[in-house]
Every structure is written in structure tokens, then in C-alpha cells.
Chain A
């Protein structure tokens, strides 16, 4: 069992007010799962990870790694990083430039205190780890002679060679170019599934989070805004922040006017009455926000019918992206973004209707 309870950490930069980097974070992770901490920079996700690693000392809370309490502010427990038995891949990879590939990977075994590794065992474990990340045969090279992608694999091999209880990854793909990043994403997923190692992954890249994770915790200003599977986070965001940060979303202001058909709620908007599902009941008159993903919206020339939410406007811009076309539609009170298939052709200035299927909308209180 892995758990973080009510974690708090603040910084006081010289001459500045206190910054609450982590403000009461709590989550559990089942063994073998892949959890991603996702959020914009400065949201506290890296600080949380560093607290897990033992590189930062939290102000309050409790951390349990593999049923061992490694931090408990109330009981005064703080196990230093070197004794937590974890593996970590850093954003900069932190490959030691004065060592060979072999020595980098062997380091955790050489400094181990729990048990002594014989020379033969070190050799065996290092080459296993290097094979696992497809760096077999590179043992004797100076670490600095590796390319960015290879250094990343090397860091990964070093992170798993001592069979840690938990693997921590701090934006490991952010320094790679786009193609390599996509490739490494798949390899990372495969490796984690094969080793079955409990993994915590920090990133600000929502597509990485969606692609890799069993679960995602979305961070907002030192707190967890929402936690769930990638599907839940994408399909049912619980706040404007989450809807906006994961993918992109259009937002329409309105006020609940009463129950509609099929358990939907009728919303009075500047574009007429819209229908939208809500997780909980809303009183009529409650100010609400409707979120709709650009790819769920449909553009038509003729009015598509009364059972959809419809806005009218004209095409302001079109952006051709190859496999898709983005349209910005100007309506009476603002703009809305529609992501359409490339065969859906409209010209700039053309009058259009934007149809929003009610089931694809997400509603929440403002």
C-alpha cells in the first residue's frame, strides 16, 4: 500500500510571502498501478513527487511507501531519500558525466546498505537493466557519449536496477523531441506493465498523462482538483479548470431553468434554452457553466433540429491542420471552437449553425 495523507509544504522565498506549494494533498496508490500527477507549472506536482522521494521535507502530513511510514510530521518520522528504496528518473536525467554507462547503472547497487551485492551479481543486474531499456552493449561507453533518448533510457535503467518499491518519474520526456517522446511513451508503458512496479509520474503534458496512466490526479494550486481514470478525467471533468487543462473546451454561461427531458437539465443561455447533464441536482436559477469539447461540435448550413443545442454564427477563421480543420465561429456574444473532419468545408464569413449534442456536454455550477 502506498499513501500520501494531508501533505503540506510551503516555501518562503527571501523577501516574499509564503507560497503554499502543496496544500493538503492526499492520495493512495494500489501496488503496481501507474499514477500521473498532472498540472501546470507551479501547481505543486513536482514538490509532491520530491516529498515522496525524500528530497524535500514536508511541513505536515504522512507518507507511506510499501506499508512503511517514511514520513509522519506528527510522530517526527523522516526517512531520508537514501533509505527509502525508491527509483527516480529526473527531468535532466542526472546522468553522472564522470562515469561510464555501466557505472551509472551500478551505482545504486554499489552504495546499497540493505544488502551487499557481489561483483557477479552487479554485472548480471546491470546488464539485465540495460537490456530492458535496449542499451545492452553500451556498458563501456562514457555516459556523456549517449544521445538524449539514450540518456533517458540509461536514467530509467538506473532507476529500476535495484528493484525499488516505487518508481518516480519527474517529467522524463520533456527534454526529448516530439517523435522520440511518442516512442518513449510507448516503451515506458510497456516497461512498467512488464515490471509491475508502482509508478508515480509527473507531467504537465495532458496527452502523456492520458496515454500512460491508470489514474490521473489533476493538480491545481497545491491541491488535487480531480482524480480518476483518463477517461473519467477527459469525459467528466468536475470543474472548469480540469475541463480547460485536459484537452480544450468551449464554455457557455447560463442559469438552470428547470428539469428537461431524459433527466437532463434545461439551461437558459444567450443562445436559447440548452440541455445538459449534471452529476447532481441543480436548483432552478443556479448559475452554471456548460463545457463542450471542440471535436463534439457539428457544423451545418441548415438548422439541425430542435433536439440539439444550437448556436448560430459565422466562420471567423479556419485553421487547416491536415487530418483536421479547426473553425473559429463568431456568434453574438463571443467565439466558439469547432474541430471538424477535413471533408467539412466552410468558407470564412459563411453563416453556420453549431450543433452541440446534449449528451456530450458537461455541466457544473459556477
Chain B
């Protein structure tokens, strides 16, 4: 087994005191970030990214990905004990988790949540271990037209499958793409959309935008809602953990289903949020008594948590193998890779083996250590929420500013962050989706480069996107997804036409 050997090597790279220490730091910070409302996975990673600039890439990604696992675990604590989802993907966990806490079963709910998250991630990591090398092999065949087709597919799937109003998705997407165009054009060297401002020459860094869009705007939203924190106490002892674990095998169907949904939605850019809701809804649909959902059922906690973590973890697969992030946090990690001087994509697997497999090994280790850590320290983290928001809010603002400044050492970026904070706040309130904007900011310039390189290669002939089976399939799929709502309606229509016809005969 080649994958197995490489994985073993990955574990060996991790076995240094420094890396293990960074893992712990990452996990603890991550749980904090997940517990605090107003901070979340994406911001936490974005804000701490500057800390890693002076580290070697493997240590850096180990710390940041552990932060990500920590945030995934932390979201469950606040959902269950305080009925406040620390993260959007833990909203579905509150449906049954909080009622369980109200019934005095907080410890069971937390154990179930942590364990199922662990299982979800584990399934996804195993998937990554065996799938990543194959995808990378496959992706080595990719040239600029194929890459452009894949980016197009990503954007089209947002527009076609997104649940928000279509014009809002298009606005969010095009705005992001336009913002990445600002600055020097990489192909011709011309200046675009800078209007003579020297600060705009560098272009708009997407990390600055993300810190504003998620960090600052989240503070504004949280402040507006004025949190009344009234939580349940919880202490987890080994007996409860063991008893809860004994009941889990009964729910294996729910867990397997959720893990599958999670992996699927994580790889395609559906993300952890959609996965957690889908996991919950399907568990409810297939349950024998649907009425008891929402009143504190343990599988109501298991289903969304497994799915969210499977999605959160498997979102890293397309990032490593193709350079396309499956989630917001993966997008920021991708930004990190670029800063550390690595080029995400299939070549990463050839040129930086120890980095890739170190990362994958840290996913296994980080999840196991994370599970033990959260099970043993829940009371401590629950206490964090009793710290007044008036003390936390300004500290988060400062952390955001530090993060924004450190990326390019530019004061202008702090102003930009503030602007994006306002934009994010207004967009959130008006139901404009932020995910397409973020994704466009990450992928925008690479999409354009891929397109223009394909055009140079094909002497301006658009048929290059259908020049072979691979690229043709992807491009066609992208267009199908873009017009999916119309195609779906056409099918519906056709079926209705068929139906009376069948009756008549």
C-alpha cells in the first residue's frame, strides 16, 4: 500500500516536540475560537495566519489545521450548553442538543457530539488518505483549459444550486471576481481599476477581505442581537462517556448516512453548513417517530455533527489536490499555502510529499487528541462564555486588525478590513451570500490566468474548452449546473405532461 507507507512517513515528520506542542496550541486556540461568538473557524485561522509566516510550512499547516478541528469541536459546546451556535454549521446541533441539556443530559449530548464529530472527521480523513493521491495523479493531466473548466464548475454550482435569490448570488460572485482584478494585470502588465491610488496597486488581498467580511461583521451582528447568556453547567465523567458510547452502535445507520453526505458536500463546495442541515433532516425523515425530533434526541445531535465534521474535513481534499477550497476555512488555508511559498494543486503531491502527508497525518492525530481534550476540559471552555462580551469584542477587533495588517504590512489594509466589515454586515442582513464572494476572491485571479493561458495556447479559439473528453465533460457539467433550476423545471414540466398521457391510455 503506497498510501499507507507515505502516511507512516507523515506521522514520523510529526513526531517532534515542537510540532506536537504546536498541535496542542492550535487545538486549544481552536476550541476557544469555536466557543466565542463573533469568532469562528475562518476568522480564527485568518487572524492567526500571520503567526505562521516565520514557521516552516509543515509546522504552520499542522497548527492551523488543528485550530480548524478545535473550532469544529468548540462549536458544539455553545450549541448544546447555551443554545448559541458558535458556528453556522452547529445551528442544526442546537435543535436537539439544547433540549437534551435542558433535560439534564448535557453530558450525554456533549459526548455524543464530540464522538460523532470525531467519527465524521475520521471517515473523511480515511477518504482523503486513499483518494488524494489518485485525484492528484488524475489532476496531473490538467492544463490551463481543464483548470479553468474546474473553476467555472465551482462558480456555476454556486449559482445553480445556491438557495439564495439568484441575482444576489450573481452580485456576490461578480463583486468578488471584480475585486480580484484590481491592480496590475499579470498577463499584460497594465494597471486595472486602480484610479491612480498607489495603495490599490497591490490589489485586494483576500485574507484582508475575509477578516473584515467574517470577523468585523460578525462582531456587529453579535452586538446587535445582544446576547443573553444563560447556559447549563456540564461536567463529563468517564462513566457517562462510556454509557453514551455503548448506545452509539444503535445509530450506525444515521452516522454512516451523515458521514457520507458530509464527505460528498465537503468535496463539492457545499460546505459543512449545508451538510449539517441535510444530515439532520435526513435523520428526521427516516426516523420512526418524527415528532420526538427537536425535543432532545441523541441522534438529532449525532446526525448534524457527523455530517458537519465529515464535510469540514473532506473540504481539504480538493484544496490539496486541485487547489480549490471546499469551504471558507479551506480557502484561507489555501491562502496560507501561497504565502508559505507552496503551490497548491497536483504538483504539491510530487514536490512536497512530506508536507502533504504531514498534513494528512496531523488530521488523524489532531482529531484523536482533540477528542480527549474536549471531553476533559468542557467546564473550562464553557466558563469562557461567562466572560463579558464587552471585554471580548474589542479584543477580537484588535486581533482582526493585527491579522489584516500583518499580511502585507499596510495600514491601508486595516481600512480595507473595516470597509469589508461593513459590507459583510449589510450583506448578511440582506441575505446576500458571502461564500461566493469569498470563493471568487480566492480563485478569481487564477481563473482569469487559466482562461487567458488557454486562449494564448489555442490562439483565441473557445473550442479549446471542448477539445478533449475531460475538459469537455467538466465544461458541459458546469453549464448544466448553471442552468440547473431551469433544467429541473423543464423536467418537472415534462413529467406533468407525461402523467395525464399515461392516465389516458
A and B from one complex = no
Which B residues form the contact surface with A (CB < 8 A)?
none
Which A residues form the contact surface with B (CB < 8 A)?
none
